[in-house]
Amino acid sequence: MVSRRAFAEAMKLLLANDLKFTVIGGAVIALATGADDMGEDVDLFAESPNVINEEDAYRSIADSNSWDYGQTWLGTPRITVIVGDEEVPVEFYDNLYDFYVPEDFISSARKVEVEGVRVKAIGVEQYLVLKARAGRKEDEEALKNIGESVKRGRLKVEASKVLQLASEFDEGQVIVRRLREYKII
């Protein structure tokens, strides 16, 4: 588990190392619900430097800070940022193979404040569409948990916005069906 405090400090350290990114993973939901548990890792869409052409920049940042460096399942950089006694695994993504985040999701991301640190994050509805589109076993489990948060009133979702966003994908009907199945919309 990555605590909210460690998440904020890790983001601050990454920004101080001139990385530009947008939060795209499960932390989006944690931010929206005010949870302290930010998930097992932090997924970021890397804006700069480029994760493919400038991978050495990520390795250099990890080395200069004595952080572990590895790769995600896509072969993109994965850095484990050390914050006090916590490890914060941070995975950097770009549009590769089947992994796709529309440019307008990134360009319309909003700044959110976490423990005094301002970071860009996609919206809840955008996250839900991406999660439903991926459709892997772990994604379905996450959607099930999110459905419970919606049911309990801990998370608000604009159904009309989700429907509009889903319609931008070829598999829009599948996305909507999955989100309805878990009673998110």
* 111 and 132, same domain (yes or no): no
Q: Which residue range forms the structural domain that includes residue 145?
A: 126-181
State pLDDT tens for residues 168-180. 999 999 999 999 9
Statement: residue 125 has pLDDT above 90: yes
Helix residue spans in the chain (DSSP H):
4-16, 27-33, 55-64, 103-107, 124-134, 137-151, 159-166, 172-181
Confidence of residue 29 (pLDDT cuts 50, 70, 90): very high
* 151 and 89, same domain (yes or no): no
* 17 and 102, same domain (yes or no): yes
Residue 135 pLDDT:
87
Confidence of residue 97 (pLDDT cuts 50, 70, 90): confident
Structural domains in the chain (count): 2
Confidence of residue 98 (pLDDT cuts 50, 70, 90): confident
* 38 and 64, same domain (yes or no): yes
State pLDDT tens for residues 46-81. 999 999 999 999 999 999 999 999 999 999 999 999
Residue 27 pLDDT:
98
Statement: residue 10 has pLDDT above 90: yes
Give whole-number Cα distances, 44 to 20, 142, 177, in Å. Answer: 9, 17, 26
* 132 and 106, same domain (yes or no): no
* 8 and 74, same domain (yes or no): yes
Percent over 70 (pLDDT), the chain: 100
Q: Which of 96, 122, 148 is the last residue of a domain?
A: 122
* 143 and 61, same domain (yes or no): no
Residue 65 pLDDT:
97
Q: Of the candidates 7, 52, 66, which has an alpha carbon nearest to the alpha carbon of residue 31?
A: 7
Query: For the whole model, what pTM was predicted?
Result: 0.95
* 110 and 130, same domain (yes or no): no
